[in-house]
Amino acid sequence: LGASLPLLQRDYRFERVWFWGCIQGVRGAYYIAEGLGPDRAAPRSRLYSLNCLDWSLLTPATKEMLALAEQVKGRFQGDPSFEYSLAEINAEAAARLVESGKEPVMKEEARLIATVEQIDRAVGIVPRGAFVKTPLGSVHENRHFEGLSLGEAKKLSSYFHFTDPVNLKNKTLLEKADLDPSTDFLESLEHDIPRGKGSWSIQLEKGGTVVVLRSLLWLGLTFYHVPMTKQFGYVYFGTGEKNLDLPFML
């Protein structure tokens, strides 16, 4: 990875490349990287590799792809060309494909695209203030961000979902009065369902010098932040399956 990611950045002319994580299949693993441009809010380019050397670009996720992937159960196989029978997953979608002359199957590559998108939307997070929104609407890294204080770093409200906000638009003017439009343009983790610490665990490690958040909804997603520094990030190492038993575990 240390050798192939800089080459990836050069070949695709990304401003930055993040190692996103790894989805473990039965017969192999998918290593995922994300390429970023100047505007951090723009759709990200995602690539996968089976050997950490050769990378293939993933197409953007469609609504239909996301809906079908949610209904697929069981482990990934580790083979991008593996086909899931849609007749067993969603009979309506299968019938539509047959009518249009296509085979009623879903390739594992499509499931991979949708799963990475789902995880990013649900649990891809950043500390408050790490990014700023310009008046023109583009999002950039905040050069003045020096990290959260230790006290702030222990609170769920100090972390935001790095995706388009859904509930923020529904807030009243009174609720928005205390928000800074340049930094509070994302949604806070404190409103995640189950509420509070139901879907996240916060821990202090290395003698309180690193704050680690782990998702209980997508097991395997780990976020870290070193308070009072610019260091933060998240990585996913798991099976690509959502923890649907979470409500029963609380």
Q: Output the six-digit token pair for 149.
A: 């204080």
The residue ranges of the chain whose pLDDT is under 70 are 165-182, 194-197, 250
pLDDT at res. 86: 80
Place of tokens 């800089």: 6
Q: Which two tokens stand for residue 128?
A: 């408050």
Q: What is the pLDDT of residues 134-179, one digit of tens each?
A: 888 788 888 889 999 999 999 998 999 988 766 655 555 555 555 6
Note the pLDDT of residue 134.
Answer: 84
Paired residues of 28 in beta bridges: none
Comparing CA positions, the residue from 156, 161, 158, 166 lying closest to residue 122 is 161
Q: What are the Cα distances from residue 155, in Å, to 165, 189, 228?
A: 20, 9, 15
Domain boundaries, the chain: 1-122, 127-248
Tokens 């976020």, residue? Answer: 223
Closest-CA residue to 34 (of 243, 241, 234): 234
Tell me how many degrees the CA angle 123-232-192 measures, rounded to the nearest 5.
25
Count of alpha carbons within 13 angstroms of residue 200, beta-carbon side: 28
